Amino acid sequence: MNGVRAERGDGASESRSFLIGLGRGAAGAMLFGIPMLMTMELWQLGFYIERWRLFLLLIVNIPLLILLAHRIGFERTSTVAEACRDATIAYGLGIVISAAVLIMLGDIKPHMPLSEILGKIAIQSVPASIGALLGRSQLGGQAGKEEDQDDEEEDEEEGAVPDEISTSYSRELFLMAVGALFLNLNVAPTEEIILIAYKMTPSHALVTICVSIAIMHGFVYAVAFKGTHEISEETPWWHAFFRFTLPGYMVAMLISLYVLWTFGRLDDTGPTQMLMSAIVLSFPGAIGAAAARLIL
């Protein structure tokens, strides 16, 4: 009997933990998605964006969510199946929250064409789904911190390598790509990006690049933010700069070009103007990439 009660208790505890994770995910989708859910340009994009570009963005978001779920999912994941489960739930939460908020704001109405309704929900579900997964790492509170500490203690008992050491180079670049994508989705649809790019001169662009790179390096290594990566005294200063900061900025630049292309901002424009627009968008993208290394 005691064994049956223990099993029931464990099951109830797991269910409660999962429901708490869902609550954090919904809160994360709302918190991180609300700036885009209340942006007019994204409402319009849902109507006129080319459907194959939107479909490609939705497909690209799936492996991104799976990899992100493996690191900061609703629960600690140890298999690909569990990560896929959390990614699916996050996508579902992103769709539900996006649809609910757009209906509440009156941006989705019954008389609208189905393609327009689906387009608006689909484009908003991408940042909202990322926000749903961020809910565990950013909204976990004291209980979430205790869970992470317990997980780290279990890893140490099993002889696992600490996260700061085991984090691979490709994973670092992936996290920077997630941060750049998330922040780029906030500002890329706005007309201001194109306007700034037209007003900038080559000297402005060069200064923007230098400031973006300096901010990236300062966020992670120079300024004492929580989660800052410390460089040992034996490591030369340029090691982290050339190994992480510069590649991270290139990742932010590539993500910026992809987002601009997805939203049609590069159509019928010359190479110089494309580069200018990418440099402008890479400024917030670089900040997002640097912040992702600190908070994820």
Q: What is the DSSP string of 106-164?
A: TSS-TTS-HHHHHHHHHHHHHHHHHHHHHHHHHH-HHHHHHHHHHHHHHHHHTTPPPHH
Q: Are 113 and 48 in contact (CB under 8 A)?
A: no
Which pLDDT value is given to residue 249?
94
Phi-psi region of 159 (alpha: psi -120 to 50; beta: other; left: phi over 0): left
Same domain, 293 and 203: yes
**In the chain, what is the straight-line distance between the N-terminal and C-terminal CA atoms, in Å?**
43
Q: Are 277 and 193 in contact (CB under 8 A)?
A: yes
Same domain, 103 and 229: no
pLDDT along the chain (296 residues), means of 10: 51 72 85 87 86 93 89 71 88 94 92 91 93 74 49 47 52 87 89 92 95 86 52 64 88 95 90 94 92 72
Same domain, 134 and 263: no
As to burial, measured by CB atoms within 10 angstroms (0-12 exposed, 13-18 middle, 19+ buried), residue 115 is: exposed
User: How far is it, in rounded angstroms, from Cα 17 to Cα 12?
Assistant: 8
Which pLDDT value is given to residue 77?
67
Which pLDDT value is given to residue 230?
56
pTM above 0.85, yes or no: no
Domain count, the chain: 2
Last residue of a domain, one of 163, 186, 210: 163
Same domain, 70 and 133: yes
Same domain, 79 and 209: no
Same domain, 212 and 286: yes
Same domain, 92 and 150: yes
Same domain, 206 and 119: no
Same domain, 51 and 187: no
User: How far is it, in rounded angstroms, from Cα 133 to Cα 88?
Assistant: 11
Which pLDDT value is given to residue 10?
59
Which pLDDT value is given to residue 56?
94
Domain that holds residue 3: 1-163
User: How far is it, in rounded angstroms, from Cα 140 to Cα 151?
Assistant: 14
| Single-letter amino acid, residue 234 | E
Q: Are 153 and 79 in contact (CB under 8 A)?
A: no
User: How far is it, in rounded angstroms, from Cα 173 to Cα 211?
Assistant: 20
| Single-letter amino acid, residue 225 | F
Last residue of a domain, one of 147, 163, 179: 163
